[in-house]
Amino acid sequence: MGWEEADKGWGARAKDWAYLMESTWWPEFDRVLRDAGVGEGGRHLDVCCGSGLAAQMAAWRGAEVCALDASERLLNIARARTPEADIRHGDMHDLPWGDGVFDTATSFRGIWGPNQQAVDEVARVLRPGGTFGVSFFPMDAPSAWDDWWVAIARVSEHEQAQSAALGSIAESGRVEEMCEAAGLVPGERRLIRFEIEGGPEVEDFVRATLSAGPTWTAINERGQDDVEEATRRLFEPMWDPEVGLRIGTAVEYLVATKPE
């Protein structure tokens, strides 16, 4: 599938993704932006920025922000959120910026196992001494959120194969190898645990999950009813009438540095 195709799945429900799903991951954005040293006066790039909440948070920290994604419909929202940012439609494997022009870069669950060339590109556009924060789902830190992937994989065999390839970035030593191959020095892996705030009712989050790219694949294979039902069945036992739906999740990341 070419990079232009990403918009079919990720852009199909762009507003739901931006306002019901992406926004629930802010604790991850906050932590990685801080640890990567994104801040006042720095020039920052977010790769696979989606609808741009992390890019907006980088701008709030005082950075001059650039961002890129393959989904034009998500980018419309990213541009509305941060009009002053340089936000471009393109492929993470071929970044439209020159060598050494960024102080910091991030990618939040956007670069995966098969995307070595994307890491090479980040290394190219970083200045010597620049930092790169990259996050992904961990392999050895089970959380309630993992069960959602299992539920979706169960309804979509295609999604199962795809997720395994993408998730290989979390294998022991793999993301470190990818950074080293690109000429970056990887730091220690760090784990973040937080609770996704799914909403007051289970149905709110069932709607949110329909906006994720992998769900689009599953819907095309099995139909929306099956996908919704698999998600509903999973989350109903987690719902608390007093506090709504809270879902424990875990994300792993590391910060790599380009040698001076």
Residue 71 binds ligand SAM, judged by CB under 6 A:
yes
User: Which of 25, 136, 205, 235 contacts ligand SAM by CB under 6 A?
Assistant: 25
The radius of gyration of the chain from alpha carbons, rounded to an integer in Å, stands at: 18
User: Which of 20, 69, 170, 210 contacts ligand SAM by CB under 6 A?
Assistant: 69
Q: Tokens standing for 241?
A: 């009438």
- Which residue, 30, 97, 36, is CA-closest to 66? 97
Give the list of residues 6+ apart from residue 142 with CB closer than 8 angstroms, or none. Answer: 250
Least distance to ligand SAM, CB of residue 231, Å: 17
Taking CA 96 as the corner, what is the angle to CA 92 and CA 85, rounded to the nearest 5 degrees? Answer: 90
Closer CB to ligand SAM, 210 or 239, in the complex: 210
Closer CB to ligand SAM, 20 or 92, in the complex: 92
By rule CB under 6 A, what string of x and - marks binding of each residue 35-64 to ligand SAM? -------------xxx---x----------
Closer CB to ligand SAM, 155 or 251, in the complex: 251
Least distance to ligand SAM, CB of residue 254, Å: 16
Least distance to ligand SAM, CB of residue 98, Å: 18
Residue 10 binds ligand SAM, judged by CB under 6 A:
yes
Residues touching ligand SAM: how many (CB under 6 A)? 19
Residue 148 binds ligand SAM, judged by CB under 6 A:
no
Q: Outline where the chain has alpha helix (H).
A: 6-10, 14-16, 26-35, 53-60, 72-81, 116-125, 144-155, 157-167, 174-181, 202-209, 213-222, 224-235
Are 164 and 239 in contact by the 8 Å Cβ rule? The answer is no
Residue 91 binds ligand SAM, judged by CB under 6 A:
yes
Give the list of residues 6+ apart from residue 240 with CB closer than 8 angstroms, or none. Answer: 246
Using the rule CB under 6 A, give the single segment among 65-73, 215-223, 225-233, 245-253 that binds ligand SAM.
65-73
Q: Outline where 14-156 has alpha helix (H).
A: 14-16, 26-35, 53-60, 72-81, 116-125, 144-155
Enumerate binding residues for ligand SAM (CB under 6 A).
3, 6, 10, 22, 25, 48-50, 54, 68-71, 74, 91-92, 108-110
